[in-house]
Amino acid sequence: MDEPRRAFLDDLLATSSPSGFETAAQRVWIDHVSAFADDVTTDAYGNAVAVHEGDPDAPTVAVAGHADEIGFIVRDVLEEGFLRIAPVGGSDRTVSKGQHVTVHADEPVQGVVGQTAIHLRDPDADEYESIEGQFVDVGATDAEEARERVSVGDPVTFSSGIEDLVGSRIAARGIDNRAGIWVAAEALRRAAAADVDATVHAVSTVQEEVGLQGARMVGHDLEAVDAFVAVDVTHATDNPDVDAERRGPVELGGGPVVGRGSANHPVLVDLARDAASDAGIDVQFQAAGTRTGTDADAFYTARGGVPSLTVSIPNRYMHTPVEVVDLEDLDRVADLLAAVADAAEDVDSFAVDI
């Protein structure tokens, strides 16, 4: 990954974006794509759409990631000055205690999720409390001091930053799914640079982690789209503590992951497979027997049915403060989606042949 693209990714990852509070990250994304998009628009909830205008007679393809991340929200301020929290999205109660967090109030407030020292509890009786049973300590001595700085409804995120690991791998919080909106933007840039005939929309949706809400809005509004590609992270199960029955074929560094089954339209699966072969891109496949767990689940039922596909980035330790991806996978996914956009004009019909 070259320096300008890495700087864009780092800017996205450094900008907190819990569901319902995505504005700052969307501004980073919009500022970046505005340099090469023909137009950029937003809606009332902050979904952002950038477009490369192609041949009016060619298909229109949308590539979408979601800007939001999991986190917490302040639900009460206790008399002692501690904050009770609730989850935003699928926050993992097993990794939150003892972590540094930031309360995104009018001014950022630093805190920690309290964890009683091992010396003062019975380790044999340890169990993971629900998020609602945990608390944040911002150092306040009482409720009045805390309320001067934070309010009920302020979002909270982990404070972990971006770390370079061995080779081309990085660890950070919020890779799910700032990696996806990076890919959507980069696929648009590469498609525009190649001047593909298809019209290409790059989309950064909001509130995926709380029910695919932004995708429902975009799927309704983008009436001219012939095909949606949802780009998200998926589980790389190549670390040693994944149970055998949960282990799948996806490996970190193995390249783009193309979904099959459920929302994944067979014409688009074949298009992605052929585009990857022509471009010399190795791909992995993943089964989705019931649902994909991505924005594709909302896109494909929009307006009576829009052909949709998931193309994913392998990710270890999803929904923790230390998600791990390989930057080479991000580049390959962007290459693949630009190639899919280029090849879309050769598709006679996106409908299944019955």
Catalytic residue among 22, 69, 208, 323: 208
Q: Residue 176: helix, strand or coil by DSSP?
A: helix
Is 66 annotated to bind a ligand? Reply is yes
Residue 18 contacts by C-beta under 8 Å, 6 or more apart in sequence? 68, 69, 70, 71, 72, 73, 88, 89, 104, 155, 156, 157
The H-or-E segment that residue 271 falls in is helix 266-279
Is 32 annotated to bind a ligand? Reply is no
* Distances 91 to 72, 96, 132, 209, 330 between C-alpha atoms, Å: 7, 8, 11, 10, 24
Residue 298 contacts by C-beta under 8 Å, 6 or more apart in sequence? 212, 215, 216, 219
d(CA 191, CA 342): 7
35, two tokens: 């340099």
Distance of CA 216 to the CA centre of its chain: 16
Is 265 annotated to bind a ligand? Reply is no
Q: Are 157 and 71 in contact (CB under 8 A)?
A: yes
Q: Are 274 and 343 in contact (CB under 8 A)?
A: yes
Is 232 annotated to bind a ligand? Reply is yes
- The label of the residue with tokens 């309320």 reads 147
Residue 189 contacts by C-beta under 8 Å, 6 or more apart in sequence? 33, 36
Helix and strand numbers (H, E) in the chain are 8, 17
Residue 277 contacts by C-beta under 8 Å, 6 or more apart in sequence? none
**304 Rama class: left (phi>0) / alpha (psi -120 to 50) / beta:** left
Told to judge if 208 belongs to the known catalytic residues of this protein, a careful annotator would answer yes
Q: Is the dihedral of CA 302, 305, 311, 316 positive or negative?
A: positive
Is 319 annotated to bind a ligand? Reply is yes
In the annotated binding site for Zn(2+), the residues are: 66, 176, 209, 232, 319
Residues annotated catalytic, as ranges: 208
